[in-house]
Amino acid sequence: MMLEHILVLSAYLFSIGIYGLITININFVTFFDIFYKRQLRDRKSTRINQSNLLNKQY
């Protein structure tokens, strides 16, 4: 009887752990996707600003 309780409890904790790992993984993927897009946008605007500086007539 005690062994059954231990097995049920360990299965429950295991499923919570797997759910937590999946949730954290999805959050990391979402964060890094947004972060990567922001870096690309900043890099493009930097290139535009550099080309504007090169073409500027003084």
Total tally of structural domains belonging to the chain: 1
- The answer to the question of residue 17 being in a domain is yes
Residue 16 included in any domain? yes
53 is a domain residue:
no
pLDDT band of residue 2 (cuts 50, 70, 90) is very high
Task: Tell me the two tokens of residue 39.
Answer: 């870096």
State the residue for tokens 């752990």: 17
Binning pLDDT at 50, 70 and 90, where does residue 31 land? confident
Residue 51 belongs to some domain of the structure: no
Q: Which domain holds residue 29?
A: 1-44
Residue 30, both tokens = 């979402």
How far apart are the C-alpha atoms of 30 and 8, rounded to whole Å?
33
pLDDT at residue 58 greater than cutoff 60? no
Confidence at residue 6, expressed as pLDDT on a 0 to 100 scale: 95
Residue 26 in any domain: the answer is yes
**Spatial separation of the C-alpha atoms in residues 43 and 24, rounded to whole Å:** 28
Q: Is the pLDDT score of 38 beyond 80? A: no
- What pLDDT, on a 0 to 100 scale, did the predictor assign at position 46? 55
The answer as to whether 49 is a domain residue is no
- pTM score over 0.75: no
- Mean pLDDT, rounded, of the chain: 79
Is residue 52 one of the residues assigned to a domain? no
